[in-house]
Amino acid sequence: MFSQAHIRVTFDKHIAFLVIDRPEKHNALDNDDIDALLAACALIETTSQIRVVILSGSGGKVFCSGGDIMAWSALSPLDFGRHWLRRGHMAFDALARLRQPLIAVLNGHAFGGGLELAAAADFRLMESHARIGLPEPGLGVIPGWSGTQRAVRRFGAANVKRMALFGEMMDAPTALAAGVVDEIVPQESGLRRARELAIKVSEKAPVAIEAVKMLINTAEGEEGGRAAEALAGICVGYTNDLQEGVQAFREKRSPVFQGR
């Protein structure tokens, strides 16, 4: 089990459960939570038996309300841009680029950075009572954790404009019809449905699933060169030439490569 700031991770066989546990603050994220998300992703990424990740918020009312206003409103403009936004991007990028598929359970409202957090997932379940939106411009700020970038790639520019420019809040049926979420489930049933989906994923070939996710991410501009290098590195890792090169280095001789 991992627990840092308001971020908890538990493992159950091949599934990791990543929970934002700050219901008294509507699961808002502060600086420590951003650092904890990065640490949690590093743990999940390197835990070999984990094949799928489920992300949710605690409390049942709010999935995540985004960045804690008290945390970022006290920052200078330079610190806000250099640290708060950049660090948040690092954490959300780490989530989006996990080798394992990520299922987000919107078991409550997802506003601002909370919706940007959900955008990092590969599949979004939305409970019937939840609402989503990007209200940042109403506070005089921008959707800064890739709300104008990844959210556009995942949700489409028109939907992001509806929420960010015109302040529209989407209920579950509207979000499903717009393609912002993938499935609606009854209230309090999101985690059960997510587990069912996670089990289906975990029963498939994990290396194939990992490769497919990286290729899809590359196609939509999420991964770039990192995926190509990772996949190429895996291929090279299975060659006899790699073993010969390492062995020759250890024996301080010239390698004899066979091209296989």
For residue 107, give the nearest of 205, 181, 179 by alpha carbon.
181
Q: Beta strand 2-4 with 123-127: parallel, antiparallel or unpaired?
A: unpaired
CB 83 within 8 A of CB 64: no
Q: Annotated catalytic, 24?
A: no
Residue tagged active-site, from 24, 45, 116, 244: 116
Q: Are 15 and 198 in contact (CB under 8 A)?
A: yes
| Torsion on CA atoms 96, 99, 101, 103, rounded to nearest 10 | -50
**197 Cβ contact list (under 8 Å, min separation 6):** 103, 123, 125
Strand partners, 17: 10, 54
The DSSP secondary structure of 207-222, one letter per residue, reads HHHHHHHHHHHHHTTS
Q: Which amino acid is at 251?
A: E
Catalytic residue chosen out of the listed positions 127, 136, 210, 223? 136
Query: Taking a C-beta distance cutoff of 8 angstroms, is the pair 125, 181 a contact?
Result: yes
| 168 classed as catalytic | no
Q: Which residues are catalytic?
A: 116, 136
